[in-house]
Amino acid sequence: MIGKISVPFRIVVIFLYLFLLAPILVVLPLSFSNDSYLTFPPESWGVRWYVAMFQHAGLINAFWLSLGIASVVTALSLAVGIPAAYAIGRHEFRGKEFALSLFTAPLLLPSIVLGLAILLVFVQARLLGTVTGLIIAHLIVTTPYVVRIVITSLSTLPPSVEEAATMLGASPLTVFRRITLPLMAPGIVASAALSFLLSFDEVVISLFITGPRLTTLPVEIFNYVESQTDPMTAAISVVLVTATLVIIMLIERTLGLSRTIGK
Amino acid sequence: MQTLASREDARPIAIPQAEPQPDAAFLRLRGLTKRYESGFIAVDNLDLDLPKGKLLGLLGPSGCGKTTTLRMIAGLASVTDGEILIGGDDVARRAPHKRDIGLVFQSYALFPHMTVAENIAFGLDMRGVSRQEARARVEEALEMVRLPGYGSRKPKEMSGGQQQRVALARALVIRPRILLLDEPLSNLDAKLRDDMRIEIREIQKRLSITTVFVTHDQVEALTMCDVVGVMAGGRLAQLGTPSEIYEKPASLFVAEFVGRANVIDCEIVGRDQARIGDQVYRSDTKGLSGGKAKAAIRPHRISLTPDRDRALVSNATNSARGRIARITYIGDIVQYEVEINGAMLKVEVPTASAGHGFGADDMLLCEWKPQDMLVFGS
């Protein structure tokens, strides 16, 4: 665990955390404002905007759409990413470096460039404003993370452990199921959580693809903030932050964050 | 564990192998070759016979092909050419999980997400052994490696030596046809290594299991093995008992790799006659009677006599007059570097008998027997 930390370092860390968390800490009281516009501190208190939020059909529809898309995207990026990572991490083949670059290049590209490129392709393919289009676009963002994280967790797993199982009589499939998969589990859970959150939060690329009849939650919030300046956005933020925290705490409780993300 | 069948297993407890004739080779390698795509030949046309129940040590420097040979026997490396016969069947092209071979890795390679008992039971599970029998056999295996009651531990809660024993139990509990050990002791500290060496050898003898042991440590090879194969450049430089390897090395490489040796340029001037500088010594020239050569003499096979005692030197030994250039105290032994005829000879004398009071620059006589001077043509 963490050893002794000097006092000045401790103070620096506290200030860094304050700096990072300050916006969230401001949002929390703001969300319980009963005012019709954003003021800090609020003049009256209440849960008016939480109620309004749950009655806002556009937001609720967008929430369900985002939830659905994030779930499908997570499942698909694992289905694509795990075998890809296994092939790259465990086998030698021609074009291995190329495959790795191909799978991880989107990590390096600015989302705005990626979004524009996707837009150009999707216009041709008639995928704009469709759920399929959104899922494909999100997969481009999430799969590189899955591949990266799973390769990392594979690299900490020495091949001799799998070879030992082989020598004891396990077929390749059994080795994967009984040895490789359980030992990769922390990496898989981490990449699943990350895929879900990335897809659920995705704004930039979604902005290019969504249309008036199909809007994800972040895009809906974005549009809402552009036209309205009332404390409902604060209420939405608090709900989203809480949901994210719950997911992260569940991972921490079941597996340990340090274990999932790396050594 | 969930796939363990609850049915009664018909497998007998005793090792279910028919005993072949005692001297017949149980493991045979025939022309075994490993060539990589790059053209590099890691193992070059290897032929080897190992009788049942014997322990073979493959000894050599890194890159000599010993580990590749082991991995080919295991099936973890593909065979380019040749045969691997175990009890008569060629397994060279058989999938590794169907070969019924036990392998102990240098890194132990225990399954970190399973307990010790689950680790050991894994191979039994793969063979469909009943849960009841598996439990008994796991307990028996733990007792064999002197770890009774450790079944519920996780590997990471155990020391390196204990993990190594679990790995050994896991490999043996399936009653493999052959046991392979890949540098099993090199991750252990010196004291533990000595203990494990004896323990592994005792278990191997008790089970009388045909075993191949890969090591770069000559002490391990000489002390543990029935047969030692010294490898170099993908070939067997020599195959023999530990004393044959040490006393009658087939080449200069073997003489230098196994044990220490003074290597001195010389010229063969007749059968069993080798000249260093202007002096001719009696030696073992292995039938050669002329040509440039190198002589190898082990440092502890040379004795030192004060120069004034020259009259006492027996005619049956070689002797050379020399000057002490350096003295190094190494605890058990004292090492003298003696200059004779322009060559430098290392001489090792047990500390207990080194009380001659020799000092640097003293003149003295080095003596060695003709059979301790091995001459190899170059």
In this complex, do A161 and B109 lie within 8 Å of one another by their Cβ atoms?
Answer: yes
Q: What pLDDT score does B1 carry?
A: 40
Q: Which residue has the higher pLDDT, B354 or B145?
A: B145
Higher pLDDT pick, B133 / B310: B133
The CATH number of the structural domain formed by B260-377 is 2.40.50.100
Torsion of the alpha carbons at B46, B47, B51 and B55, rounded to the nearest 10: -20
Per-chain mean pLDDT for chain A:
87
pLDDT of A94: 85
On chain B, the residues whose CB falls within 8 A of the CB of A171 are 95, 97
Of the pLDDT bands very low, low, confident and very high (cuts 50, 70, 90), residue B75 is: very high
Q: Name the residue facing B109 among A158, A171, A178 (closest C-beta).
A: A158
**What's residue A262's pLDDT?**
45
Is the CB of residue B284 less than 8 Å from the CB of residue B249? Answer: no
Mean pLDDT along residues A219-241: 87
pLDDT digits (tens, 9 = 90+) for B359-373: 888 888 888 998 899
Q: Please answer yes or no on whether B122 and A163 come within 8 Å at the CB atom.
A: no
What ipTM score was computed for the predicted complex, to two decimals? 0.81
Helix axes A232-254, A181-201, angle to 10 degrees: 180
Identify all chain B residues contacting A160, using CB atoms and an 8 Å cutoff.
105, 107, 109
CB contact under 8 A, B76 and A170: no
3-state DSSP call for residue A263?
coil
pLDDT of residue B309: 61
Smallest CA-to-CA distance from B355 within B319, B308, B306 is with: B306
The band of B110, judged by pLDDT with boundaries at 50, 70 and 90, is very high
Whether A183 sits inside 8 A of B113 (CB atoms) is yes
Q: What is the mean pLDDT of residues A165-185?
A: 93
Give the best residue of A153, A168, A181, A255 to mutate against chain B (max B CB count within 10 A).
A168
- Which has the minimum average pLDDT: A153-167, A206-220, B107-121? A206-220
Q: Which residues contact A108 (CB under 8 A, 6 or more apart)?
A: none
Q: Tell me if A168 and B123 make a contact (CB, 8 A cut-off).
A: yes
Q: What percent of chain A has pLDDT over 90?
A: 32
Q: Does A161 have pLDDT greater than 90?
A: yes
Min mean pLDDT across A28-32, B232-236, B288-292 is at: B288-292
Confidence check: pLDDT of B20 > 80 = no
Q: What is the three-class DSSP state of B61?
A: coil
Mean pLDDT of A108-112: 86
Q: What is the per-residue pLDDT for B239?
A: 95
When pLDDT is averaged across residues B124-128 and rounded to a whole number, the result is 95
For residue range B225-280, what is the model confidence (pLDDT) as tens digits?
A: 999 999 999 999 999 999 999 999 999 999 999 988 999 988 888 888 888 888 88
Domain boundaries, chain B: 25-252, 260-377
Give the Cα separation of A30 and B189 in Å (integer).
63
Contact residues on chain A for B154, CB-CB shorter than 8 A: none
Chain B positions touching A256 (Cβ under 8 A) are: none
pLDDT at A229 over 90: no
Residue B23 pLDDT: 56
Which of B371, B364, B368 lies closest to B317, judged by CA? B368
Lowest mean pLDDT among A165-174, B88-97, B281-290: B281-290
pLDDT for B354 equals 61
Of A40 and B282, the structure prediction assigns the larger pLDDT to B282
Q: Is the pLDDT of residue B313 over 80?
A: no
Q: Are strands B279-282 and B318-329 parallel, antiparallel or unpaired?
A: unpaired
- Quick one: how far is CA A93 from the chain centroid? 31
Whether the predicted pLDDT of B338 surpasses 50: yes
Token readout for A28 is 């929390």
Mean pLDDT of all residues in B300-308 = 84
Euclidean distance between CA atoms A127 and A112, whole angstroms: 18
Assign domain B25-252 to a CATH class.
alpha beta
Question: Tokens 């024993």 correspond to what residue?
Answer: B165
The Cα diameter of chain A in Å comes to: 72
- Residues on chain A touching B95 (C-beta within 8 angstroms): 171
| Average pLDDT along chain B | 88
Contact B103 A182 (CB under 8 A): no
Cβ-nearest to A169 among B112, B113, B126? B126
> What mean pLDDT do residues B201-222 have?
94
Q: In the sheet where B318-329 sits, what is the strand order? A: B303-306, B363-368, B318-329, B333-340, B343-350
Q: Would you state the CATH architecture of domain A57-261?
A: Orthogonal Bundle (1.10)
For residues B164-182, give the mean pLDDT: 95
What does the pLDDT read at residue B96? 95
Out of A161, A169, A171, closest to residue B111 by CB? A161
pLDDT interval class at A99 (50, 70, 90)? confident
Q: Are the C-beta atoms of B295 and B263 separated by less than 8 Å?
A: yes
B11 has pLDDT over 60: no
Q: Exposed, middle or buried, A188 (CB in 10 Å: 0-12/13-18/19+)?
A: buried
A68-77, B59-68, B325-334: which has the minimum mean pLDDT?
B325-334
The mean per-residue pLDDT over the stretch A208-218 comes to 86
| Contact across the interface for B103 and A163, Cβ inside 8 Å | yes
**Contacts by residues A233-238 (CB-CB < 8 Å, ≥ 24 positions apart):** A234/A27, A234/A28, A234/A30, A234/A31, A234/A33, A234/A38, A234/A49, A235/A31, A235/A49, A235/A50, A235/A52, A235/A53, A236/A53, A236/A59, A237/A24, A237/A27, A237/A31, A238/A27, A238/A28, A238/A31
How far is it, in rounded angstroms, from Cα B139 to Cα B128?
Answer: 18
Q: Which residue of A has its CA nearest to B180?
A: A167
Which span out of A19-33, B106-120, B281-295, B315-329 was modeled with the highest average pLDDT? B106-120
pLDDT digits (tens, 9 = 90+) for A185-207: 888 988 998 899 999 989 888 98
Which tokens is B36 given? 């990589």
Residues 6+ apart with CB under 8 A from B50: B25, B26, B27, B28, B56, B210, B212, B227
H/E element, B304: strand B303-306
Subunit contact B105:A168, Cβ cutoff 8 A: no
Residues B87-115 as b/e (b if ≥16 CB within 10 A, e otherwise) read beeebbeeebbebbbbbbbbbbbbbeebb
| Digit-coded pLDDT (tens) for A75-88 | 999 999 999 999 89
Pairing of strands B89-90, B303-306: unpaired
Contact between B76 and B96 (Cβ < 8 Å): yes
Per the CB < 8 Å rule, is A169 touching B127?
A: yes
Q: Do B112 and A169 touch (CB under 8 A)?
A: no
- The reported pLDDT for the residue numbered A104 is 81
Q: Which chain A positions have a beta carbon within 8 Å of B127's beta carbon?
A: 169
pLDDT at A101: 86
Question: To the nearest whole angstrom, how far is the Cα of A185 from the nearest Cα of chain B?
Answer: 11
Tokens representing A202?
A: 């995705």
- Mutation target to probe the A interface, by most A beta carbons within 10 A, among B73, B78, B105, B114 is B105
CA of B94 to nearest chain A CA: how many angstroms apart?
12
- Interfacial residues of B (vs A; Cβ cutoff 8 Å): 74-76, 95-103, 105, 107, 109-113, 122-123, 126-127, 167, 170-171, 174
Task: Give the per-residue pLDDT at B2.
Answer: 42
- From first CA to last CA, the distance across chain A in angstroms is 12
User: Which residues make Cβ contacts (< 8 Å) with residue A121, sequence separation at least 6?
Assistant: A127
> Nearest to residue B109, comparing CAs of B179, B167, B40?
B167
> How far is the C-alpha of A214 from the C-alpha of A61, rounded, in Å?
9
pLDDT > 70 fraction of chain B, expressed in percent and rounded: 90
- Give me the pLDDT at residue B6, please: 42
Question: In chain A, what are the domain boundaries?
Answer: 57-261
Distance CA A37, CA A192 (A): 38
Q: Does residue B22 surpass a pLDDT of 60?
A: no
Tell me which chain B residues have a C-beta less than 8 angstroms from the C-beta of A168: 97, 122-123, 126, 170-171, 174
Res. A40: pLDDT tops 90? no
Q: Shortest CB distance from A167 goes to which of B96, B107, B127?
A: B96
Residue B154, CA distances (Å) to A71, A161, B151, B162 in order: 35, 15, 8, 11
What does the pLDDT average to over A32-60? 86
Distance CA B12, CA A84 (A): 44
Count contacts between A and B (CB, < 8 Å): 62
